[in-house]
């Protein structure tokens, strides 16, 4: 017992101070991409042509980035002759609607909190069942990391549970293969109402690199109503944590306009 106490003292406090302090992320971290449109040559579509998931669209209204499709792979950045696209260390990427993930490369509307009734239900104790719907285990790994001492998800009253019957909602990763469709729908049905659906990663949002493959459903939005979209490939644990806390209205200084607890996807 004494050895254990000594080891604990030597290790010190390992949990990050977030959200009371802003996290420090390395320069190589690929967060929110931004676009300097003034550098974009007329008729140049190098970035759109290089994107493996068609996350970049250029039309008469300008350039649009779809974070729901983006793999954060830097192919667009490397293809741009004017270096007009670059990644920042901005990790706050979650949104409440699919449409809000499509932006002009300058301003992203972050996730708003649930309505007051839903916050009373879920705000202090949120139990989630994670469903890997044919994921590659990258998003799944970063979800698992949230339960370690570094992030300590449980200090916010959020926990992953083994049974959907004990859950308040489901967290979905993967593009939802046809083989996982029935299992996903059965898990959702087993969660008592009212319930939340959270899509984590490009695959769960849009199908990611598997989009339009006949064996996948291009994410979960065509099958279930999604309350929170967390983009990335995979999203950083802080991106996931920030999205969850914003959904619950747990971040200081965050405006909390009433939003419908259920969202239908366009």
216: domain range? 116-247
CB contact set of 207 (below 8 Å; sequence gap of 6+): 175, 213, 216, 217, 218, 219
61 in a domain, yes or no? Answer: no
In a domain, 183, yes or no: yes
Tokens in use for 237? 């644990």
Question: How many domains is the chain built from?
Answer: 1
Q: Is residue 197 part of a domain?
A: yes
Give the C-alpha separation, 155 to 202, whole Å: 27
Evaluate whether residue 12 is within a structural domain.
no
User: Per the structure block, which two tokens stand in for 72?
Assistant: 């954060």
The pLDDT value recorded for residue 219 is 95
Query: In the sheet that 62-66 helps form, which strands lie side by side, from edge to edge?
Result: 56-59, 62-66, 102-103
Q: Is residue 15 part of a domain?
A: no
pTM comes to: 0.89
- For residue 206, the domain's CATH number is 3.40.50.12280
Please list the pLDDT of the chain residue by residue as tens digits (266 residues).
788 777 767 766 679 999 999 998 998 999 999 988 778 877 788 999 999 999 999 887 788 899 999 999 999 999 998 888 999 999 999 999 999 999 888 789 999 999 999 999 999 999 999 999 999 999 999 999 999 999 999 999 999 999 999 999 999 999 999 999 999 999 999 999 999 999 999 999 999 999 999 999 999 999 999 999 999 999 999 999 999 999 999 985 444 433 333 443 33
């Amino acid at each position: 017992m004494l050895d254990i106490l000594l080891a604990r003292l030597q290790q010190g406090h390992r949990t990050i101070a977030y959200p009371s302090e802003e996290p420090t992320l390395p320069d190589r971290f690929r967060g929110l991409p931004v676009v300097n449109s003034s550098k974009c040559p007329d008729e140049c579509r190098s970035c759109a042509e290089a994107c493996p998931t068609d996350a970049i669209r250029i039309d008469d209204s300008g350039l649009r980035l779809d974070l729901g499709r983006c793999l954060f792979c830097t192919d667009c950045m490397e293809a741009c002759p004017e270096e007009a696209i670059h990644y920042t260390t901005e990790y706050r990427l979650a949104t409440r609607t699919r449409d809000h993930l499509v932006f002009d490369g300058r301003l992203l509307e972050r996730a708003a909190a649930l309505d007051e009734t839903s916050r009373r239900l879920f705000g202090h104790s949120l139990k989630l069942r994670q469903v890997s719907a044919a994921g590659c285990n990258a998003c799944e790994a970063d979800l698992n990391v949230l339960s370690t001492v570094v992030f300590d998800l449980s200090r916010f009253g959020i926990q992953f549970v083994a049974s959907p019957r004990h859950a308040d909602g489901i967290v979905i990763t993967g593009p939802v293969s046809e083989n996982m469709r029935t299992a996903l729908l059965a898990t959702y049905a087993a969660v008592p109402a009212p319930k939340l659906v959270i899509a984590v990663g490009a695959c769960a949002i849009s199908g990611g690199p598997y989009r339009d493959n006949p064996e996948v459903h291009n994410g979960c939005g065509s099958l279930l109503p999604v309350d929170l979209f967390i983009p990335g490939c995979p999203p950083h644990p802080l991106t996931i944590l920030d999205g969850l806390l914003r959904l619950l209205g747990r971040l200081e200084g965050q405006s909390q306009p009433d939003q419908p607890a259920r969202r239908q996807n366009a």
